Every structure is written in C-alpha cells, then in structure tokens.
Amino acid sequence: MATGLNQFAKMNGETPSAANMRFGIVVATWNSNVTERLLEGAIAGLLKAGCHESNISVKYVPGTVELTLGAQFFAEYTDVDAVIVLGCVIQGDTRHFDFVCQSVTQGVTQLMISWNMPIAFGVLTTDNLEQAMDRAGGKLGNKGEEAAATAIQMVALQNEMDLASEANGGIHRESAPTINTPSRDGGNNKVN
C-alpha cells in the first residue's frame, strides 16, 4: 500500500458494505504504541463499512513473526470471512528486520493461498518510530484502516466469485492444478 499521497481510497473507490461479514484481527504486541493505533484504525474502518461489532474478533500475539500463526488459528478454528494482521517492524542495527519482514510477508501469502481466505496485510516496515506513527493515524493516515478496507474488498470479491461460480454450474477449484517445475537436481517437482 503506497503511502506517499495517501491515495488508497481514491485508487480503490468506495468500500463495499461489510454488514454481513466476519473478521478476525491479529495484533502484534511488539511496538504496541503503534499496533494499538493500527487496531483502532482497523476497527473504525470495519464499523464505518457497516460491520457489526459482534462480528469483529481481536487476538494478540507477541510479535510480527507470530502474526502468521495467529491468522492461521482464525482460519482453522473460527468462521471469519477474512483476517487482518497488524504489526510494526522498525529497522534496527542488525539484519533481524529483514528476516522478520520476509517471514511475515511469505507466511501470510502462503496462508492466503493454502486456506483460500483473504488475509489483509497491515504490517508497517519503517526506518524509525516517526515513520510508523505517521502511518498509524498520523499525517499519512492509518494503515490499519486501509488493511480493513482491503479485507472487506477481498471478501466482497470472493463472495462475487462464489455467486458467479454457482450461476455457472458450480465451477470451483479446491486447489491449484499440479504444475511440473524443474528441480535443482534436474528432475521435476510437482507443485500444487
């Protein structure tokens, strides 16, 4: 989500109604001064779109790396339509920043594909605390609210595709087709 000119709302138009949608929100407690503001934005965005407060469930995990498993727990143990993950990773003096960012990005992407469930990525990756605060309700908006809008839009898209599938005789693929890809040893790997 580009931050520079806070173009999110303009690029994506009006957010669909979330009146009949259920959301799980997973919040990292690391950098809680930032993530709590992201949570406020996410909840405000969901409520503004018509989501009932009773259809919003919030759970906390220790850090950003744990967001993926927290989101999987929502997918596995609840009936939510989408999950929103909220975290904040601030660059330090070591490469730890890179490993955390890569882990959560890949984990959430893999989880979305595996569970066929929208998971909105509301993780800030900034150089300093000031940049994080600017994006957590400061002068550059609230990325938590943007993540909520993304989740709503993706649930609406999935619902639209489900209806179209039913109208076309129930065409629905449970998983991706198997693809043969070259392996390092020259053979083929089957990838689903």
* Residue 96 designated active-site: yes
138-141 — which CB contacts under 8 Å span 24+ positions? Answer: 140/3, 140/6, 141/3, 141/6, 141/8
Out of 69, 96, 166, 171, which one is annotated catalytic?
Answer: 96
Sketch out the chain's domains with CATH numbers: 8-191 (3.40.50.960)
**43-95 per-position pLDDT tens digit:** 999 999 999 999 999 999 999 899 999 999 999 999 999 999 999 999 888 88
In this prediction the pTM is 0.82
Residue 76 CB-density burial (10 A; 0-12 exposed, 13-18 middle, 19+ buried): exposed
Read off the pLDDT band of 37 (50, 70, 90). very high
